A and B are shown apart, each in its own frame.
Chain A
Amino acid sequence: MESGAPAPTDAELVDGLRAGDPRTFEILVRNEGPRMLSVTRRILKDDDEAREAVQEAFVSAFRARSQFHADSRISTWLHRIAVNAALSRLRSRRRRPEDSLDDLLPRFMPNGHHVEHFTSWTEPADVTISRKETSQQVRQAIDSLPETFRTVLMLRDIEGLSSQETASMLNITPNAVKLRLHRARMALRTLLAPHLQGASA
């Protein structure tokens, strides 16, 4: 975008989008592209594929431009399209047998009580450095989850999609979304515990 040109309003972008105006698309590519690339990278864990997914997403958006409803935000609409493009690539990958999550779930005694004794997680002394480190540990832990659980966790807790939206994107029931999300979160808690227990020690 040339500097000095006034930024178009949302309404102008919507009009341009519907009209298939190339200038509007360039603005959208430059403004929304970075967030879309970040989403497809998260989901696909592969930079080349993530770039291709963003490209496919814009082509899909262009083709579906007449279906855009003015009452939703263009950024949200494009975000969903990028998620879908990434998921579609994920589905076309050769499926590998998945590891079980069971070892990472809490264990209960026959009377229903927790077997484990949990240790509190402490707030580390240097918050700034450790927040970066923690985020990296969290990303690694998320990436180590079996794919079916990782995807649900991504869509719900990171992309902020509803159960209903997640269910329809993955073609599973909202109940299955809820169950997988719960198990993914519990597994992640187990994976993070060693990093966060007594972090200040």
Chain B
Amino acid sequence: MTCRELSDFLTDYVAGELPAEVSAEFNGHLTRCPECHLFVEQYRVTIHLCCEAYDDTVPPTLPEDLVHAILASLAKTAIDG
């Protein structure tokens, strides 16, 4: 397996869905190749950083004018059907 071929299986690998028939070759290459080792690690870190990048972007409450606008359109929808 080459570095290029290994990279094609990365989504499967991080999802824990590496096809059984390539698992040995994939892991063998990963142990031997320092470039792929780093690349795979950084690919994982990237996914992790994405997951937490928006953690503190949820506003604690909705702006009151928006709450009222939503409730007004819901009331209108209830009447109009």
| SS of B interface (majority) | helix
Q: Is B51 touching A193 in the complex (CB atoms < 8 A)?
A: no
With both beta carbons as reference points, the residue of chain B lying nearest to A188 in the complex is identified as B46
Residues 65-99 of A at the B interface (beta carbon under 8 Å): none
Chain A residues, CB < 8 A from B38: 118-120
- Tell yes or no: B21 within 8 A of A by CB: no
Q: Is A22 touching B78 in the complex (CB atoms < 8 A)?
A: yes
Q: Is A54 touching B47 in the complex (CB atoms < 8 A)?
A: no
Q: Is B46 touching A189 in the complex (CB atoms < 8 A)?
A: yes
With both beta carbons as reference points, the residue of chain B lying nearest to A61 in the complex is identified as B74
Q: Is B57 touching A41 in the complex (CB atoms < 8 A)?
A: yes
Chain A residues, CB < 8 A from B4: 108, 112-113
A185 to B41, CA, bound (A): 12
Kindly supply a per-residue 1/0 record for chain B positions 11-37, scoring 1 wherever the CB is within 8 Å of any chain A CB and 0 otherwise. Answer: 100000000000000000000000110
Residues 47-64 of B at the A interface (beta carbon under 8 Å): 47, 49-63
A158 to B3, CA, bound (A): 27
Q: How far is the CB of B9 from chain A (nearest CB, A)?
A: 10
Q: Is A62 touching B74 in the complex (CB atoms < 8 A)?
A: yes
Q: Is A117 touching B35 in the complex (CB atoms < 8 A)?
A: yes
| SS of A interface (majority) | helix
Chain B residues, CB < 8 A from A116: 35
Chain A residues, CB < 8 A from B55: 135
With both beta carbons as reference points, the residue of chain B lying nearest to A140 in the complex is identified as B53
Task: Out of A33, A135, A157, name the residue touching B62 (CB < 8 Å).
Answer: A33
Q: Is B45 touching A114 in the complex (CB atoms < 8 A)?
A: no
**Residues of B with Cβ closer than 8 Å to A?**
2-5, 7, 10-11, 35-36, 38-39, 41-43, 45-47, 49-63, 66-67, 69-71, 73-75, 77-78
- Identify 20 residue pairs between A and B in the complex whose beta-carbon atoms are under 8 Å apart, listed by A's number: A25-B74, A26-B67, A29-B62, A29-B70, A33-B62, A37-B66, A38-B57, A38-B58, A58-B73, A62-B77, A63-B77, A108-B4, A135-B52, A138-B50, A139-B53, A158-B50, A158-B54, A185-B43, A185-B50, A196-B42
